[in-house]
Structure 1
Amino acid sequence: MFGALTLAALQQGKVPGTLNFVLALLLIATVLNVVRALRAGDGRAAGLSVLWAALGGGALWGVTHALAGAGTPLWVQVLLTLLLVVPQGPLLYRVVFEPLRNATVLVLLIASVALHLALTGLGLAFFGAEGSRTPAFAQGNAQIGGVTLSLQSLLVIGVSALLMLGLALFFGRTLAGKALRATAVNRLGARLVGIRPEAAGALAFTLAALIGTLSGLLIGPSIAIGYDSGFLIGLKGFVGAIIGGLVSFPAAAVGALLVGLIESYASFSLSQWKEVIVFTLILPVLLWRSLSTRHHDEEEE
């Protein structure tokens, strides 16, 4: 949502509200870092945190005001959108979730819901209640096997395939990806072998912010994105991941395709029920997984 609406604001020649938001997050994160460094007696780290935050925030403010004009090329606006939105991922992790790193899963879930509501309200304040569309990155249509597809749709499919392939290679072949998987499986064990869970969390939120921003930029030309669009789209992705089992990239991709196909077919005959049909898919999947998974009593474990 932030990605698509930030680009739409730049298209209108406006300075998006996400600039003030990311600067505010940077300020809060810097204060937290300085307090932590001073408690540890490391004044040099505290000074470096302030210096880097001042340089980064000032550069971001200057670049945004210099390039926010309506005549800026589209690719420059896309890069500026990524520069404004992607840093919100690690900053939100530092401000909201890292202080709760020892909390229970229930507390983290409640914090996530509260953060979602806060971001939705900020989206309404920044961009208004009206939805917006962004210009297509590729104009025209293509004929493939007797089917007419827009070049924008092909671009979405291509970028999605590259992202899935990149994630599979990242988690399966790189040291950082394996460290991230290890932290997700067992945080204490990862810490014992030298992996910093805080760094892994920041990396996870950075990847999520990057993929979320790219997704918003790619679907912005196809549908009108509003301040409350992110939750519904993300929830459908979650249904696809649940169908895939949350552990397999190919299965999650197949689940996502299944969700999209069912929603598309339901739009023709039962358009008013399409959301209900999509979200009902999760019930038999959860029931089947519950029945097929072996359960152990706590005493046996």
Structure 2
Amino acid sequence: MDSTIAAVLLLDGIGNGAVYALLGMAIVLVFAVTRVILIPQGEFVAYSALTLAMLQLGRVPGTVWLALLLAALTVLRELWDGVRTKRAWPATGLEIARLCALPVAAAAVTYVASGHQWPLALQGVITLVLVTALGPLVYRLAYQPLADASVLLLLIVSVGVHFTLVGLGLVFFGAEGYRTPPFWDASFAVGAVTVSGQTIVTVLTSALLMGALYLFFARTLAGKALRATAINRLGARLMGVSTEHAGRSAFSMAAFIGALSGLLIGPTTTMIYDGGFLIGLKGFVAAIFGGLASYPLAVGGALLVGLLDSFSSFWASAYKDVIVFTAIIPILLLRSLTDRQHDDDE
């Protein structure tokens, strides 16, 4: 390996690591707020890339029908809970409107957009809104009824949600793979290395989003409410913070981050209906580096995962995923020796 190849692999690792960093932060956020290990995080990535690809081809994305299906199931769930708890109809209707207005509106706009060749940036925004709207619906249907369950039970539910979303992805998108066009197709020569505009967009977008998340948690009331829920759910509830709203907000942010990651990685990776699983799993490895609690350590772990992925693909491409996932073993061993807490709900 000469210096030119090393530089190319380094750039590739940083670009992939930026995406893994976003996914790792989303997993840390969801776990801190809801105690859910979000295994289906990768499905938001796949849905986003496939939705944009369908819009580019002038076809109606399967995400439209998925959003309407989840919205219909949410309406039925809210009506059932309203009858069971004898809740007044205005409250039930308001809750249904809060949960379903955005998914239905986003699905309608996406349906209209599929018949027109709108600019790529506008199609990306539509994709972001539609996939983000799936987050609170998934939380309401699968996780909110079990919000006080153990971490192990929530993990089992996450596995079930993952397989369900993968199956729905096969139904709504088919088994064919797609690749989306880059948002910036320029290229720049830096010495003997060529840097693509898409790599620059990926790194800058990831950095800007990380900064925005820092300001959100540090300066806004909603961010402080999420931090309070992450620190002490019962204490936050006693202080008037709705843990249900916090859970939906966390899932909305995770879905947005996953959708953005799908747009960023779509031009460099051929995406299929289950292609988001490995990408999300590498984000999970990054989150483990941060102990599912530290955002900076998760970002650092993501960059390490990206570099391992890139360099191992050169040295031993057949075993690159094995090498990446094996890196988690010493981290888990170290944490098992240093962590004195044994109660999984703590």
TM-score, shorter chain, exceeding 0.5: yes
> Is the CA contact (8 Å cut-off) linking 1:168 and 1:249 kept in structure 2?
no
- SS of match in other structure, 1:102: coil
Structure 2 residue 328 is the aligned partner of structure 1 residue 288:
no
**Structure 2 residue corresponding to 1:4, chosen from 49, 64, 67:** 49
> Is the CA contact (8 Å cut-off) linking 1:164 and 1:249 kept in structure 2?
no
- SS of match in other structure, 1:182: helix
Aligned to 1:194: 240
Q: Which amino acid aligns with 1:27?
A: A
Aligned to 1:17: 62
Task: Give, in angstroms, the shift of residue 143 of structure 1.
Answer: 3.0
Q: Which has the larger radius of gyration?
A: 1
- Larger deviation: 2-11 or 183-192? 183-192
Q: Is the alpha carbon distance of 1:134 and 1:208 closer, same or farther for their aligned partners in structure 2, counting shifts above 3 Å?
A: same
- In structure 1, how many angstroms separate the alpha carbons of the residues matched to 2:343 and 2:95? 48
- In structure 2, how many angstroms separate the alpha carbons of the residues matched to 1:115 and 1:55? 23
Aligned to 1:217: 263
Q: Is the alpha carbon distance of 1:189 and 1:68 closer, same or farther for their aligned partners in structure 2, counting shifts above 3 Å?
A: same
Task: Give, in angstroms, the shift of residue 173 of structure 1.
Answer: 2.8
Aligned to 2:214: 168
Aligned to 1:109: 155
- In structure 2, how many angstroms separate the alpha carbons of the residues matched to 1:297 and 1:75? 47
- SS of match in other structure, 1:131: coil
Q: Which amino acid aligns with 2:203?
A: I
- In structure 2, how many angstroms separate the alpha carbons of the residues matched to 1:56 and 1:249? 29
Structure 2 residue 151 is the aligned partner of structure 1 residue 143:
no
Q: Which amino acid aligns with 1:74?
A: L
Aligned to 2:325: 279
Q: Percent identity?
A: 53
Task: Give, in angstroms, the shift of residue 181 of structure 1.
Answer: 2.2
TM-score for the superposition, normalised by structure 2: 0.80
Alpha-carbon deviations, 1:122-161, whole Å to 9, x = none? 1111112121100110012123465321000010000111
CA RMSD of the aligned region, Å?
Answer: 2.3
- SS of match in other structure, 1:142: strand
Alpha-carbon deviations, 1:73-116, whole Å to 9, x = none? 21221122123211100011111111111222111111110010
Q: Is the alpha carbon distance of 1:147 and 1:285 closer, same or farther for their aligned partners in structure 2, counting shifts above 3 Å?
A: same
Q: Is the alpha carbon distance of 1:266 and 1:58 closer, same or farther for their aligned partners in structure 2, counting shifts above 3 Å?
A: closer
Q: Is the alpha carbon distance of 1:133 and 1:57 closer, same or farther for their aligned partners in structure 2, counting shifts above 3 Å?
A: closer
> Is the CA contact (8 Å cut-off) linking 1:30 and 1:49 kept in structure 2?
no
TM-score for the superposition, normalised by structure 1: 0.91
**Structure 1 residue corresponding to 2:129, chosen from 69, 83, 88:** 83
- In structure 1, how many angstroms separate the alpha carbons of the residues matched to 2:326 and 2:105? 47
Q: Is the alpha carbon distance of 1:295 and 1:62 closer, same or farther for their aligned partners in structure 2, counting shifts above 3 Å?
A: closer
- Larger deviation: 48-57 or 66-75? 48-57
Aligned to 1:94: 140
Gaps of 5+ in 1: none
